[in-house]
């Protein structure tokens, strides 16, 4: 990816800013994770749709499998190529918690937030209570994971801008914090690249 082609990153940052704005009304704490709303439904639907797009782009970029058709195909293609992806921790430092949005992939299952996304997409009236803060947070964190994998070179060069306001990566992955001579974030699956 070239620096001029950060539109997936910029779309993610815009969606993440929408999620961040919801914290003015619903504090992102575990006590509120079950809160559901139209705004969380909108964020979940937008994030899930973009996850679908980015998973395809990642498969094409890394020539993993020819056109997987669904999340099961993405999991089959991406999980073996990126074995650390299910363990990439997305942090929410302002509220003191972190997430592993793709953790279920390690067990050969799809994330709960992905199931909620599909349920809401196909039968919103019946499944509207699944449009929770928890699922919105995890879907945007899942998108953040994929966009980081897509732009791993920009992360390493510390040129992925602007940086999200609510979510971040584990600071131990950022070597720039220790010295300005070394690069920025290095994802576990790209350490030897």
Please tell me the predicted confidence (pLDDT) of residue 70: 93
**Given a cut of 50, is residue 77 above it in pLDDT?**
yes
Chain mean pLDDT for the chain = 90
**Cα–Cα distance measured from residue 177 to residue 77, given in angstroms and rounded to the nearest whole number:** 33
**Cα–Cα distance measured from residue 135 to residue 184, given in angstroms and rounded to the nearest whole number:** 29
Helical residues (DSSP H) of the chain, grouped into ranges: 7-22, 38-61, 71-81, 112-122, 124-127, 133-150, 152-157
pLDDT digit string, tens, across residues 83-121: 999 999 999 999 999 999 999 999 999 999 999 999 999
Please tell me the predicted confidence (pLDDT) of residue 183: 46
Please tell me the predicted confidence (pLDDT) of residue 180: 43
Q: What percent of the chain has pLDDT over 90?
A: 75
Residue 97, both tokens: 């918690």
Collapsing DSSP states into helix, strand and coil, what is residue 171? helix
Mean pLDDT value across residues 5-17: 95
Residue 176, both tokens: 């720039």
Please tell me the predicted confidence (pLDDT) of residue 69: 85
Collapsing DSSP states into helix, strand and coil, what is residue 97? strand
CA nearest to 188, candidates 86, 49, 53, 58: 86
pLDDT digit string, tens, across residues 25-58: 999 999 999 999 999 999 999 999 999 999 999 9
């Amino acid at each position: 990816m070239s620096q001029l082609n950060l539109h997936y990153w910029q779309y993610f940052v815009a969606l993440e800013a929408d999620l961040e704005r919801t914290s003015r009304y619903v504090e992102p704490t575990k006590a509120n994770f079950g809160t559901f709303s139209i705004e969380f439904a909108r964020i979940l639907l937008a994030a899930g749709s973009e996850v679908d797009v980015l998973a395809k782009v990642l498969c094409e970029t890394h020539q993993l499998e020819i056109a997987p058709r669904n999340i099961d195909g993405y999991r089959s293609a991406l999980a073996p190529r990126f074995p650390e992806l299910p363990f990439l921790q997305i942090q929410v430092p302002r509220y003191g918690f972190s997430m592993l949005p793709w953790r279920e992939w390690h067990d050969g299952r799809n994330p709960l937030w992905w199931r909620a996304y599909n349920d809401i997409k196909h039968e919103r009236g019946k499944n509207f209570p699944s449009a929770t803060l928890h699922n919105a947070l995890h879907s945007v964190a899942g998108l953040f994971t994929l966009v980081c994998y897509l732009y791993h070179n920009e992360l390493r060069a510390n040129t992925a801008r602007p940086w999200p306001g609510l979510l971040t990566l584990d600071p131990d992955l950022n070597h720039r914090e220790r010295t300005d001579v070394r690069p920025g974030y290095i994802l576990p699956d790209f350490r030897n690249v």
